[in-house]
Every structure is written in C-alpha cells, then in structure tokens.
Structure 1
Amino acid sequence: MMKMQREARVRVGAVFYASVMLATLFVVWGVFFTDSLAAFNAAALSFVTETFGWVYLIATTLFIVFMLFLAISRFGRIRLGKDGDRPEFSTAAWLAMLFSAGMGIGLVFYGVGEPMSHLSAPPLGMAEPGSMEAGRMAMQYTFFHWGLHPWAIYGVVALAIAYFTFRRGKKGLISTAFYPLLGDRVDGPIGKAIDVLAIFVTTLGVATSFGIGALQINTGTNYLFGVPEGTSVQILIIAGVTAVFVASAVSGLHRGIRYLSHINMTLFMGIMLFLLIVGPTIFMLDVFTATLGNYIQNFVTMSFTSGAFVQEDAWLQGWTLFYWAWWMTWSMWVGTFVARVSKGRTIREFVIGVLVVPSLLSFLWFSVLGGSALNLDLFGGGNITAAVSENISTALFVTLNEFPLGTIVSVLAMILIATFFITSADSASFVLGMLSSNGHQNPPAMVKVIWGSFIASFAVVLLLAGGLEAVQQVAIITGVPFTILLIGLAASLYKAVLAEVLPERPAVPATTQDGGSVTEGHGASR
C-alpha cells in the first residue's frame, strides 16, 4: 500500500494539481454562484457564435481535407510505430473498437430526437415543417452532423498521439505532439498549460454526455414508470453511476468494464436490428441510400454554410456549432483511445478506417431509428414531432412504444445508456489520469477516481445551470480554444511527417531508454 502511495506521488505533478485546482474552482462557481455561471454562459455564447462561428466551420472541414491529404500522399505509407511493427488487432476488431470509442450516449439521445426536431423545424428554414422535403433535409443534416466531420476531429488527435508515441517514443501527452513547433518548450510552462487545457476541456466534454444521459434516463423512467422528472432525480442518477464507477476503479475490475463494453455493442446492435426487422425495413434502407447521396452531393455547401445570409442562425448555434464544439471537447478522450489501438497501422489504413467505417455505421443507426420515426409521422399518422417539441429526451421512448415489445426495448435502451455512463467514466477518467500523471500508461486508481468524481460534479453543475441548454452553451464556449489547439496539432504533425520524407531535414528527437533524446533520420517506410 505504501509503495502504491509513493508511486502515485511520483506520477502526479504540476499539471495534476493545476488541473484539480481549475476543476475545483469551476465546481464551486457552478454550485454556489449558479446564476453567475448561467449569465456568463449566455454572454460568452453570444460572443463566441458571433465572432468565432466561422472558425468552427472552416477548421472542422480542413481537418477532413488534411486527413485525406495524408492518406493519399506519400505520407500515407508512414507506419504508426517502427517500420517493422504490425497491427496488434485484426482489422475487424480494430474497426469495432473505433466505433465503440466514438459511439456514446449522444447516438441514443439524438437517434430519434435530431431527425424529428429537424422535421418540425427544418434546417435554416429551407422547407415547410412536417413536409416530405423537411424529412429529406432532416436526415441529410443528421448525417452531416454525425459523419466525416466528428471523425476527422478525433482522427487528427489520435493520429498525432499515435505517431509521436509509437513512432517517436514520446510520452502519451498532447503537449509532446507540439515538439516540432515548440521544441524543448513543451517540457516547460507552455507544454503544461496545453495539458491543463486539454484536461479541463475533456472533463467538460465528458460531463456534457453525463448530463445528457441523466436527462434521458430520467425521462425514460418517467415515461415508463412514472418517476418524477427533475434536477434532483438526475443528480441521484449521476451519483449512482459514479458510485459504480468508483467501485470498479478502486477494485480494478477491468474484466467487468470489458464485459460492460460488450453489453454496449450487443444492445446497440440488437436495438437497431430489432427495429430494422419489425419496422418499415424498405423505407429505412431507402432513407439510408437516398440520404447518403444527398449528403455527398451537398457536403461542401453544408460544411461552409454560416449565419451570414440566413435568418435561422439560431438553428446553426443549437445544432451545427454545438456539435462541432462537442466533438472538439471529446477529441482528446476518444483520440487517445483510438491512438492506443492503432499501433502498427499505416497512416493510409488509419485514415480510411477512422473516417469511413464509423461514419457509415452511424448513418445506418440514424436511418433505422430516425427513419422509423419519420415513417410514423409522415405516413402512419403518428405525432412524434409533438412529443419531441415538448421534450426531446422522450423521442426514443415514444418511438419504441409504437412497435411490438416497446416497453421491453425501452428498458433495454435505458440499460444501454447506463452502461455507456459507466464505461465512459472509466475510459475518460483513465485518459484524464494519464494526462495528469505525466503520460503514464497506468495512472493510479485514486487519480482515476478523482477525475471520475470531477466529471460527475461538472455534469451536476451544468444541470443546475440550465440543463441541456447549459450543456450546449459550455460545449460551444470551451470548444474555441481547443479548436485552435487542434489546428496547431495538425501543423505540428505535418511538420514531423514532412521531416521523415525529406532526409535533409532534422527529424523529431526520439526518446531513449534513459530519458534522453537522439535525432532519428530514418525515412518513411516505402
């Protein structure tokens, strides 16, 4: 026990204490000065969307271009590891883990909610509410929000971490990936500030998912069992999930977490296949095919549509800008996991796997869930849009209730959300523990517990400050500095891989066994 305590003291340092202090201040602010936080969020949100909205739109699209450029260029042959390394996982297992990393509570929460919200309030006012055209636009923009853009954001972070960790032998910290731009300054205050920012923004990003999950579980229990809806119940839900997570972290039940991960995938695929079978199957497949074509055809226009010449800029703020910011805050967490399972892949393999496969699976999920709800409202005399307009959290349960075994499937959906809660807390706290423990691959259990507790506390603060609206506000605000950070990360990665294929340029120093560094001059595998 004493050995573990000494080990924990060695592994944490200035980044850990600064991050904990910043997180504590945020919790104190939200709990004791809730109105002040809410007012600040509203003012900051207005400033950010009016001043930096265009940054989100351009940056996220450029990340896609950057990833594709790396894949099709000579850089695509570079391996995420030494030249002789090969993938640790089969392609099927690797692709499954990629999707599991980015698949979370959001897919369940918005699976029906987003398409039906767009049906009643079409994107940018470009269709008559409730019309066939509104349905087409609803699915098109849902694909847009859950397609290539988020995975390109995750991919930039994951590719940079994997490259510098496995090929250059650097620590698994986001700051070390800035070595080509900052040099030895990554080991000083600038590097520590980058890591603290990454930790704080990641904690907020995961907390948004916790807040959304608590809202939907509470709505589900209210819809099915009459449990009252309210902040106090939602806080109890978060507390219960956190208690389960803390028990697993302290006892080291990694086997149990892996078991829950398998439950996630089984329930996810089970619910989707169930609806595909008992629902309007042909309509769902038609929706998938037609919407995929619309998505490809209108990709550039959607990517660069800002509020300059549209009256419905509030729609952009509530949907596109929120999503782009949310993906930014998730990028460190998801990116770190994706990096860890991608060792041995070439950059070309990595880009194809990360961008294409998870996007297609997300499209299928929304075609099944969203397509079911659209079919009910457009052709079956349903009124799901009314339920969504009143409370978006009810969208999934109202839709499932229209099909056989609806109550049972709704209960399974709530179990899916709960298991997402637990596994998300475990994996996110692991990443946060690693970032705050100088990049160590096995952070102390107590450090993980601390960050898991902060994630829960942040979620409670956001619920107190305004629920889903506060979640969206904080995501958009905190995503701005992280967007700038990711732009720098992409530039740093490009400079590093360019040095590999141009031997006359100095390469990034690789860390030696004794902690020193030597300059590597080997080129890309050819």
Structure 2
Amino acid sequence: GWIETALNWYYVIALVILMFVCFYLMLSRFGKIRLGDDDSRPEFSRFSWFAMLFSAGVGIGILFFGIAEPMFYFDNTQPWKYPNNPFADVAGHTAMNEQRAIAAMRVTYFHWGFHAWAVYVIVGLCLAYFGFRKKLPLTLRSSLHPIIGDRIYGPIGHAVDLLAVFGTVFGVATSLGLGVTQMAAGLNHLFGLDPGLVTQLVLIAVISVVATLSAVSGVGNGIRIISEWNIWLSAVLLAFFLFGGPFNWLMGFFITTLGDYLWNAIPMGFQIFSDKGAASWQGGWTIFYWGWWISWAPFVGMFIARISRGRTIREFMLGVMFVPTSISFVWLCMFGGTAMWMELNAAGGVGTAGIADLVRNWDLPSALYGTISQVTELGWLNWAMAALATMLLATWFITSSDSGTLVITTMLSMGDDNPPQRFRIVWGMGEGFVAAVLLAAGGLTALQTASIAAALPVSVILLLMAYGIVKSLHEDPSAVAAPPEDHAPDGTRMAQELHA
C-alpha cells in the first residue's frame, strides 16, 4: 500500500521516460542496426515471432481482466468506497451509459497499451543488442556495461541478475495465480467442480509439470508450437464474440474507443490524482499494472531478446510495440465491449445482466464465463466456447511458465541460451510452488503485493538500462552507415519450420 500511494509519482514518471526513449529510438538513425552480426538473419518466421511475443507478454492476464476490468470501470456503484473510474467521473459520465463505456475502455487500453509494452521493448532491446551484437552475456547485467564497464562481472552484476530473477519469479507467479483461479471458475461453470484452493493447487501442480516438459524441449519446439496454437485458439474465441455478439455495435465501438485512447494516452500517462479516493483507485489499478509490467520485464524482455536475434532495431521495436498492443486492443474491445453492451441492453434495465454483479462481488474469474453464457442463444455453443476459454487458459499458463523457466535458467547460467535441463526442471516446478504458496497465503492480494514489491528495485535498473542503450548506440560506429534492412528470415530456418 505504501508503494502504491507514496511512490505513485515515481512509477508514473518512470513509465513516461521509458515510452519516450522507445519512440525516440524507433524513429532515430539507429533503426537499421541489426541485433546480431551484420549478416545475421531472424531465426523464426514473423508469424512464429508474433505468436511468441503475444503469448509471453500478455497471456493469462488478458483473459482474467479482459471482461472484469472494463466492467469495473463501467460500473458506477463504488463498492470499494473509491471511484470505479475517476477519468469518467471527472468528465461527468457518472451514469452507466455508452459514454461511460467508452471511458471504461479507454482506461483499459491505457493499462494494456503502449506504456506497458515500452517496458518490454527497452529490456528486450538492451538484452538483444548487448548479447547478440556486443557479445556480452545474455543477462540483465550486460545492459549496464556502458555505465559501469567490466564491473558487471562483479558483485554489482550478480545483484542485478538476482533482482531480475526475483522479479521474474514473482511476476510469473502472479500471472499463474490469476490463471488457476480463473481455470477453477471455468471448471466450476462447465462441470460443477469446487473452485476452491484445493482445485487451484491441483491445477498448478499438473500444469507446472507440462510447462516444465515444454521448457526442457526448448524454444524451437515446445514453446513455439504452443504459442502458435494459442494464436489459433484465440482467433476462434475472438470470432465467437465478434460474430455471435453485436457485430455492428462492436465495430463502431472499437473505432471510437481506439481514437479516444490515442487522443488521451499522453495526458493520462502524466495523470497523478491528489483526491484520496481517486488516488486509492490509481494505486490499486494503474500503479499495480505498472508494477506488474515492470516485474515481468526481465522475463518478457529476455524472452523477446532470445527470439529476436537477427532483426533490425526498427523492425524489433515496431513489431514488439505495435503488434501485441493491437491484438490486445481488439481482444479487450471484443470481450469487454460485449459485456458492457449486455449490461446496456439487459432486459431488466441497464446493469441487470448479472456480469456487473459478479465484478462488484469481486468474483472476477467468473465474469468471463458469465459473459460467454449470454453471447448466443445456443447453449451448446456457449458451453463449447467456455471450454475453449478454459483450454486457452491452460496453454497460456504453460507458455508463461515455460518461458519464465527458460529466462530464469538463462540468467543463472550467465547467459547460456541453452541452459542445463536440470536447471529447467528445478525452476519450472519452483515457479509453480511460489504461485501455490502465494495463493494459499492470501490469494489475489498476496499476488498483487508480491508483484508491486518486486517491481520497485527492478524499475531503477530499467531506467539505467534506458540510459545505457542510448549511450551505447550513440557510440556504435554502425549507426553512421548501418547495412540495409532485410526482413527475410533465414531460408534454412524457414524451410525447417515449414516442414516441422
């Protein structure tokens, strides 16, 4: 609580700085520099690359919050004794109407948009540049080489990598904890199973084993294949919401809300509320999200770097910043927009569809299934899509866990991108154990607290990394006459993927 309230200004300005650095580098002359040797080429096709970016960087969280978060901002009952959406209240949109729905989606985009991915971009770019081009260890310590030189190999470097491991463990554990609570709610919806702690712990144990096996098989096999499956399953679920729901309304709502977000993203990024109630809201939502993204940054950034060798800086930054963000916006609008449309057009009057009631009672995992059950009049189809959503949670759980395992073991083995299998097994099961302990200790509150606490020291490192990459690029002789960009993946690797 102290971090969320006393240091809210720090998190706000840190995210603004990181996003500014991202866009500066994206538009600068450094864009043609390749992340690797000048003749290196990408290892993975663009589709595989995008699939792994989205699965590792968003995953479980967007299913957990995709309906619950915009519905919380749309609600106006203030069940937690602070505003549900200060941005809407300030604009005078206090009733549950379409204008408040637009404001709710704007805030949701804000939390999942460019500010979030700027964090991942900075870490991923630093690791890929220093690891593949400067031939330093593929660990966070290498990003500080422009600042402290070879001292990265001493106690300072060890401390930085340990902080990164700590942040990764608790960031991944937060996501896994959210995922199993929603999976348990899904099994309750589908089969009537008790969604309590015992079910959640069993789910963690079973899926952690599968995730560990995936991590042992490596990036090119288990992680890539499951990530691609995630994209196809996600496409089916999105199509269900789009074509089974209010198609024309959703299309208009998406265009309107996207424009609203793009117009307001910068001023929202600088907003710090002084009113006690609004400040409590900002701490519980915005600062929690900024902390979550920061605690995830070593994990996601390392994984992004690992799969981005051979791409140019501009291609890397455009791909990582805009592709997952665009998919997230479509997802959030289709899911959250459908739920708000149901509440706006409920037969018993606005707010009587039952989804807002679930969110008011903080039954966030059930909000997804409560919405799916009302999308069409075909009960069997709604049931099948609920089962698909639960399956998608499981596969996203696996990709989050196995990617986290690979990252942790890479850092602990001084940048070895093929760490020993025994490391992967120990840490794969260890992540599940941490998630289980946090769930048993305090549920969602404990997970949220761990994420925020882990983010504070990591955020300082991220700001130093941003300075270091700018400094190093200005000193890179290739920045004057970088070779032309060539986006084609390596032909041999592409052939291997097509025949895989």
* TM-score of the aligned structures, taking structure 1 as reference length: 0.84
Of 65, 80, 91, the match for 2:20 = 65
* Amino acid in the other structure paired with 2:164: A
Uncovered stretches (5+) of structure 1, i.e. residues with no partner: 1-45, 504-521
State the distance in 2 between where 1:305 and 1:251 align: 45
- Aligned amino acid, residue 432 of structure 1: I
Aligned to 2:283: 317
The letter for the 1-side match of 2:85 is: P
- Quote the RMSD (CA, aligned, Å): 2.0
Name the amino acid aligned to 1:123: N
Aligned to 1:459: 435
Distance 1:251 1:341 in 2: 15
Rounded Cα–Cα distance in structure 1 between residues aligned with 2:478 and 2:138:
25
286, 306, 320: which one aligns with 1:354: 320
Find the counterpart in structure 2 of residue 123 from structure 1: 85
State the distance in 2 between where 1:306 and 1:474 align.
23
Please state how far the C-alpha of 1:470 moved relative to its aligned partner.
1.6
Does residue 444 (structure 1) correspond to residue 451 (structure 2)? The answer is: no
Q: Tell me the distance in 1 between the aligned counterparts of 2:476 and 2:60.
A: 40
- Between 301-310 and 266-275, report the one with greater CA deviation: 301-310
Output one character per residue of 1:485-515: Cα deviation in whole Å (capped at 9) or x when no partner.
Answer: 1001111111111111599xxxxxxxxxxxx
Residue 423 in 1 paired to residue 399 in 2? yes
- Aligned-residue sequence identity (percent) comes to 40
Extract unaligned runs of 5+ from structure 2.
77-83, 348-352, 485-500
* Correspondence for 1:395: 367
Match of 1:216 among 182, 187, 191: 182
The correspondence for 2:131, drawn from 142, 165, 168, is 165
1:235 to 191, 197, 201: 201
Post-superposition shift, 1:100? Answer: 2.9
Q: Is this contact kept in 1: 2:19–2:114, CA < 8 A?
A: yes
What do the CA deviations read for 1:104-161 (whole angstroms, capped 9, x no partner)? 1001111111111111144124432523232111100011111111111000000001
Question: Is this contact kept in 2: 1:285–1:367, CA < 8 A?
Answer: no
Q: Which residue of 2 aligns with 1:302?
A: 268
Report deviation, 1:290: 0.5
Structure 1 473/360 Cα, relative in aligned 2: closer, same or farther at 3 Å? same
Name the CA distance, whole Å, in 1 between partners of 2:255 and 2:415.
43
Aligned length: 463
Q: Tell me the secondary structure at the aligned position of residue 344 of structure 1.
A: coil
Separation (CA, whole Å) in 2 of partners of 1:470 and 1:274: 34
The aligned amino acid for 1:102 is G
* Equivalent residue runs for 1:471-482 within 5 Å: 471-482=447-458
Residue 49 of structure 2 is aligned to residue 94 of structure 1: yes
What is the rounded CA distance, in whole Å, between the counterparts of 2:56 and 2:203 in structure 1?
Answer: 23
With 197-206 and 346-355 compared, the bigger mean Cα shift is at 346-355
CA distance in 1, matches of 2:482, 2:152: 25
Equivalent residue number for residue 384 of structure 1? 355
The whole-number CA distance in structure 2 between the counterparts of 1:498 and 1:254 is: 34
Residue correspondence of structure 1 range 60-209 to structure 2 within 5 A: 60-121=15-76, 122-124=84-86, 125-126=89-90, 127-209=93-175
Q: Give the 3 Å change call, closer, same or farther, for CA 416–502 of structure 1 in structure 2.
A: closer
Equivalent in the alignment of 1:413 = 389
Secondary structure in structure 1 of the residue aligned to 2:7: helix
Change (3 A) 1:197 1:253: closer
Alpha-carbon displacement from aligned partner over 1:151-175 (angstroms, at most 9, x marks no partner): 1100000000110111111110110
CA distance in 2 between counterparts of 1:104 and 1:419 reads 9
Amino acid of the structure 2 residue aligned with 1:131: N
CA distance in 1, matches of 2:462, 2:234: 31
Counterpart residue identity of residue 397, structure 2: F
1:495 aligns with 2:457: no
Name the counterpart of 2:228: 262
CA shift, 1:251, in A, is 7.3
Cα displacement (A) at 1:248: 4.7
Checking the alignment, whether the CA contact within 8 Å between 2:146 and 2:472 is kept in structure 1 is yes
Structure 1 counterpart of 2:283, which letter? Q
Deviating runs (4+, > 6 A) in structure 1? 251-254
> Which residue does the alignment assign to 1:469?
445
Q: Does 1:433 align with 2:409?
A: yes
Q: Distance in 2 between matches of 1:265 and 1:67?
A: 26
